[in-house]
């Protein structure tokens, strides 16, 4: 059998509507024949802070639309409509920013795909973690990350860190991110 490389976690089609936070932390610089995208680490911190807040308090428009389609579907059961309606009510409360859409805000997970022509000059995970930390300090999110002390003892981290941060190397001059939280509860 011949070798065939498979890109881990390929993004086949991305219909996500993105919002621009700022252009203040990125610039393009020439290095020989290459254009390098230079990112100030504070930009990573801001991105992680905003992304974790969005993940915790908002649902994507496409998700909200799918819930509405369930309510409008003549073949949906009463239970289907009840669940969809309650999820929409929860989303309406959460988007105000006082209560998250899920009580168990879980492990913060960041997956990045960093192009070879992207330069930050730092340990990106540190600045992404700082942004996550900021979110948990400023917003009404429950600390649910537990860290081991000994083989039998553990305690709450008090900051919801450490986060799981995986950064993959790619070709190009872009940096893509996926931010999510993985809770152990029911949401």
Q: What is the mean pLDDT of residues 152-180?
A: 93
pLDDT of residue 72: 97
Q: What is the pLDDT of residue 166?
A: 96
Predicted local confidence at residue 55, as pLDDT:
92
Give me the residues paired with residue 36 across strands.
29
Q: Which two tokens stand for residue 104?
A: 């168990």
Angstrom distance (rounded) from CA 43 to CA 39: 7
Residue 144 has pLDDT above 90, yes or no: no
At residue 185, the pLDDT reads 52
pLDDT confidence of residue 174 = 93
Tell me the β-bridge partners of 113.
Answer: 168, 176
Given a cut of 90, is residue 27 above it in pLDDT?
Answer: yes
Alpha-carbon gap, residue 32 to 47, rounded angstroms: 29
Full-model pTM: 0.88
């Amino acid at each position: 059998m011949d070798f065939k490389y498979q890109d881990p976690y390929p993004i086949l089609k991305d219909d996500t509507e993105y919002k621009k936070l700022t252009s203040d932390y990125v610039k393009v610089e020439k290095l020989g024949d290459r254009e390098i995208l230079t990112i100030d680490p504070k930009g990573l911190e801001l991105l992680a802070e905003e992304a974790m807040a969005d993940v915790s308090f908002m649902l994507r428009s496409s998700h909200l639309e799918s819930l509405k389609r369930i309510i409008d579907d003549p073949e949906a059961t009463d239970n289907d409509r009840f669940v969809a309606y309650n999820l929409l009510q929860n989303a309406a409360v959460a988007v105000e920013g006082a209560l998250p859409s899920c009580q168990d805000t879980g492990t913060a997970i960041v997956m990045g795909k960093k192009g070879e022509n992207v330069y930050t000059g730092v340990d990106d995970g540190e600045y992404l973690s700082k942004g996550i930390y900021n979110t948990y300090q400023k917003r009404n999110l429950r600390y649910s990350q537990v860290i081991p002390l000994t083989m039998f003892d553990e305690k709450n981290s008090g900051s919801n860190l450490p986060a799981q941060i995986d950064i993959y190397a790619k070709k190009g001059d872009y940096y893509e991110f996926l931010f999510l939280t993985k809770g152990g509860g029911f949401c």
